[in-house]
Amino acid sequence: MNSRPRNFKPGAERTAFVPDRIETYQVKEECGLLDFLLASMPQRKRTNVKELLKHRQVAVGALPVTQFDHPLTPGDEIRVNLTREFRVFYHRRMKLVYEDDDIIVVNKGYGLLSIGNDKVREGTAYSILREYVKWGDPRNKIFIVHRLDRDTSGLMVFAKNEKAKETLQHNWNNMVLERRYLAVTEGTPDPSTGIRRSYLAENSVHEVYSTDKPEEGKLAVTRYTTLKSSNPYAMLQVELDTGRKNQIRVHMAELGCPISGDRRYGGHSNVIHRLALHAQTLRFVHPVTRREMAFSTPVPSSFERLLSCHKPLPKDPAPFCEEEYDE
């Protein structure tokens, strides 16, 4: 008796998914990639190792490498996928900076939501990474650990499993050792270096404001240093002791120097058509290995262009459109 379903079509059998089998190696001294692999995988023939390289099954950090003599330095992590080629992550608004079994670090572009809201579900940093990790195995998951405002660009870390997520979220203030932002403001703060401390609360239209009443808000501490100024703009390095919604934007506006492009908090100009705020440096303790991880990104080229613009600021703040700032 034929046990096949009535609508069965020849060739329609579904092949069971085979999960990636990945071996990971740590580089301890300078050498070439092929020599390192041969020494680390003595059970495999030279031709087999070359095939792994040829078919993009070897990655240095987050990036697949095919070059036999690719130089390695101490601290590099080598991953070998014995099942299939590594997928090369590409998205025009987000770059993959680092990946291992537990975390992913990305450089998020401006205009990209960290995670969906009532109006937007797809096309967010979270949904893009969710699709990426499921390519390797449909059972894979991605977890958001913290957020950046939609129009803030820069470094974000995501967790790839529950353990990493819980560890980072529950110990965020202790595990994050350094967070530095770059901001281009309208005007130069006086003093040029300082600390802004207040309690932040949110009103019914989701606008954040400072209060001196601890019972009404959450403590927010922002440290800033003016790196350079070129009338009417200044570039600031900003460090966070706390991580509150819109914290930098509110504190800069209260100093009388709103961030360029920040129409919600009093910005007058929008020369580069974006919020001039970028999460440049992120240093934290790895949630599983406990190693210190440090990442940094270049200064956005548009920020440098903005500093070279000497056109006087408009007298009135730019009109605010709430939809542009949904988070």
Contact (CB, 8 A) for 105 and 97: yes
If asked whether residues 107 and 131 sit together in one domain, one would say yes
Residue at 287 is within a domain: no
Closest CA to 293 of 157, 167, 165: 157
Average pLDDT (28-50) is 95
Check residue 165 and give its pLDDT.
97
pLDDT band at 2 (very low <50, low <70, confident <90, very high): low
Span 252-308, pLDDT tens digits: 999 999 999 999 999 998 899 999 999 999 999 999 999 999 999 999 999 999 998
**Residue 3, pLDDT above cutoff 70:** no
Separation CA 297–CA 155 (nearest Å):
8
φ, ψ dihedrals at 214, nearest 5°: -60, -30
Check residue 11 and give its pLDDT.
47
Average pLDDT (39-46) is 95
Check residue 319 and give its pLDDT.
54
φ, ψ dihedrals at 297, nearest 5°: -125, 160
pTM of the model: 0.75
Say which residues have a Cβ less than 8 Å from residue 30's Cβ, sequence separation at least 6. 71, 72, 73, 74
Domain with 25 in it: what CATH number?
A: 3.10.290.10
Range of the domain at 76: 19-87
Domain boundary among 87, 103, 138: 87
**Residue 327, pLDDT above cutoff 80:** no
Residue at 290 is within a domain: no
Q: Quick count: other Cβ atoms within 10 Å of Cβ 241?
A: 14
Residues serving a catalytic function are 149
Span 156-211, pLDDT tens digits: 999 999 999 999 999 998 999 999 999 999 999 999 999 999 999 999 888 999 99
Domain boundary among 34, 65, 87: 87
Domain boundary among 111, 139, 170: 170
Structure tokens at 237: 């390095």
Domain with 129 in it: what CATH number?
A: 3.30.2350.10
Residue at 230 is within a domain: yes
Residue at 326 is within a domain: no
If asked whether residues 209 and 242 sit together in one domain, one would say yes
Dihedral angle of Cα 56, 136, 151, 327, to the nearest 10 degrees: 180
- Residue 259: strand pairing partners: 185
If asked whether residues 118 and 79 sit together in one domain, one would say no
Residue at 7 is within a domain: no
If asked whether residues 184 and 250 sit together in one domain, one would say yes
**Residue 10, pLDDT above cutoff 80:** no
User: Percentage of residues in the chain with pLDDT exceeding 70?
Assistant: 90
Residue at 111 is within a domain: yes
Check residue 15 and give its pLDDT.
56
Mean per-residue pLDDT over the chain, rounded: 88
Is residue 294 classed exposed, middle or buried when 0-12, 13-18 and 19+ CB atoms within 10 A define those classes?
exposed
Look at the chain and report how many structural domains it folds into: 3
If asked whether residues 57 and 181 sit together in one domain, one would say no
Closest CA to 172 of 249, 240, 113, 114: 240
Check residue 188 and give its pLDDT.
95
Is residue 140 classed exposed, middle or buried when 0-12, 13-18 and 19+ CB atoms within 10 A define those classes?
middle
Longest dimension (CA), the chain: 87
If asked whether residues 145 and 28 sit together in one domain, one would say no
Residue at 12 is within a domain: no
Residue at 99 is within a domain: yes
Is residue 246 classed exposed, middle or buried when 0-12, 13-18 and 19+ CB atoms within 10 A define those classes?
buried
